[in-house]
Structure 1
């Protein structure tokens, strides 16, 4: 409850009764105002009374009419305690229907009146506490919903980042995600050889590039006014447009944006690894291609050599048969020499066949390696 004194209106057409009630309330640090009729009471509501002791039976507007107008004007916070010499059920129900809070007989003793006022004060304090708790609960719920929405934005970024295969796609996604938070900023992504700078205008100006180069030398998380800087592996993120009047929101955004920057850095590392693996695969594929070409060349040479050896063996047999005429060999000697030549030719054919089988096996191994590399 505020430091303002508890304000009480005493409304009764009987001046003596007003005096008695006012006298009973003295000495308790109450702010008391007296009114002789309902019209005066309604005209003074801008004084923001906490409690109105309201006589029911008055000339002009009755207490019931006054209470009805008070509630109709939206004054629900002020408590109305009806005062009447009658306490029959019909009077009590009428008081209840128009929004009364309590009832006290006109002939009530002082301690009863004071206790009623104390109860009214306690009721107002409880109401204020409930309103404060409700406000806190609403603020907590709003903060939780805001945080949930902000977390959802981070999760959506992380999911989408896995689909990025170029630095241009990842940098553009970071800029778009910042805009979802109502922020603007600059982004620098680096791989092992090159830097990529991004802004809401797609291409960074020379000044923006200089700023990114400078802030990349600051700490992991650095704040200055409405600006935040995040430096993670392969990522520099400069965020502007923070609401400096809402430190809680800045704290949440700092946590979310840190996850954002760290996630982007992890994606860059994955992209670098993918590029290196792709380069290694291409090198292996090139090696397999060279080996395949070499096998084809060996096979062609083997076939040519085999044909040449067959021709030489045939020519050698012809030359031997021609020489047999001049050598005067017997049939058995000629047959023996022909057998030597045929056996040599057969052995050479076997050697070539073994080479062919080895070449075929090697070719199959090369094809398997080629298929594995392509799948990678």
Structure 2
């Protein structure tokens, strides 16, 4: 059976255009107002997997419509894609606060529309398949909190953070630690080389990612209703479901701030470690090239001295030297040839010391 898409738009032309694009592959239901859309949903005759919603409509606008839809548990998992003639960050934040998961700007491009609908359908399918597993995981997390207490989660993070050797593993640990408090959360860690996002949910919707990236420059701790934004420079975290209990909420804010303080320090260490690995790799390559070039040069010098000895032996008789003089000259050349080889051997000792230093640095980096 085809997936159902509900399109809500007061503009008949836009409504028909979107419907025509999607009706080839999906079961499309059209609605010309927010009031009509809610009526259709509540009637039980329509159970869409994706809703495409015009932001600006007379009467009940798209934001109000979205809020009402999302308040109904039957449609909480349905992705709502806003369509708007405005492309401002304020408009996108309004859409995110209303409950939308994605955003498109009019005029809608067919390829973009189909791509976003397919992405939303994939999310819906993944959400349905993961519901039971997520419920069990949340119950397990809540049981652990009850048995061990909130502070054990912080201690666990402190201990495990030293085992994190990548930005990705650190991001996962932060998210799982916050989830240990029963908090739905998303996080972005940024370095000069990469930006890593993680979430306790199935995925980070594009609009949520954009909003979180925008809010990273806001004040350090900012609470908006049940949402909490924590900004620690290179780390920004969004908490989506703070408890109503103000005392517990205060404790969790303190725990989360402590975790991010520690995470910031660990992120710096990981970044430094990665940079040291890059420098170490470059050093090893340089040492290898230097040793290769030195070997080639030594062999060339030896060959030059050998050629000199051969040429002297072949031509000494032409210079009218006595046998004794010839022997003195040959011994002198051989003497300085041996001195040249001795200098190369001393250089080899220095090469070994340099390689030993590089190996010690490598051991330190791998053990960090």
TM-score bracket for this pair, using the shorter chain length: 0.5 to 0.7
Secondary structure of 1:228's aligned partner: strand
Q: TM-score, normalization: structure 2?
A: 0.56
* Residue 115 (structure 1) aligns with: none
Which of 340, 345, 349 lines up with 2:325 in the alignment?
Answer: 340
* Structural RMSD (CA): 2.1
Q: Alpha-carbon deviation of 1:190? A: 0.5
* Residue 360 (structure 1) aligns with: 345
Whether the 8 Å contact between 1:147 and 1:252 is mirrored in structure 2 is: no
How far, CA to CA, are the matches of 1:212 and 1:185 in structure 2?
11
Q: TM-score, normalization: structure 1?
A: 0.54
Equivalences for 1:139-218 in 2 at 5 Å?
A: 149-201=149-201, 203-218=203-218
Task: Kindly tell me the number of residue pairs found equivalent between the two proteins.
Answer: 217
How far, CA to CA, are the matches of 1:147 and 1:250 in structure 2?
19
Cα shift readout 1:134-182 (whole Å, capped 9, x = no counterpart)? xxxxxxxxxxx97982121111111111111111111111111111110
Whether the 8 Å contact between 1:295 and 1:363 is mirrored in structure 2 is: no
Equivalences for 1:260-271 in 2 at 5 Å?
A: 260-271=259-270
Whether the 8 Å contact between 2:190 and 2:196 is mirrored in structure 1 is: yes
Whether the 8 Å contact between 1:230 and 1:258 is mirrored in structure 2 is: yes
Compared CA separation, residues 203 and 357, structure 1 to 2 (3 A): farther
How far, CA to CA, are the matches of 2:359 and 2:201 in structure 1?
39
Equivalences for 1:3-42 in 2 at 5 Å?
A: none
Cα shift readout 1:214-235 (whole Å, capped 9, x = no counterpart)? 2212110111111111111311
Secondary structure of 2:243's aligned partner: coil
Equivalences for 1:90-101 in 2 at 5 Å?
A: none
How far, CA to CA, are the matches of 2:199 and 2:341 in structure 1?
63
* Residue 311 (structure 1) aligns with: 310
* Residue 255 (structure 1) aligns with: 254
Q: Which has more radius of gyration? A: 1
Whether the 8 Å contact between 1:229 and 1:239 is mirrored in structure 2 is: yes
* Residue 95 (structure 1) aligns with: none
Whether the 8 Å contact between 2:216 and 2:233 is mirrored in structure 1 is: no
Q: Alpha-carbon deviation of 1:311? A: 0.9
Secondary structure of 2:223's aligned partner: strand
How far, CA to CA, are the matches of 2:202 and 2:271 in structure 1?
22
Cα shift readout 1:303-325 (whole Å, capped 9, x = no counterpart)? 211221121121113x43xx8xx
Q: Alpha-carbon deviation of 1:253? A: 0.5
How far, CA to CA, are the matches of 1:147 and 1:247 in structure 2?
22
Unaligned runs of 5+ in 1: 1-144, 324-333
**Residue 263 (structure 2) pairs with residue 278 (structure 1):** no
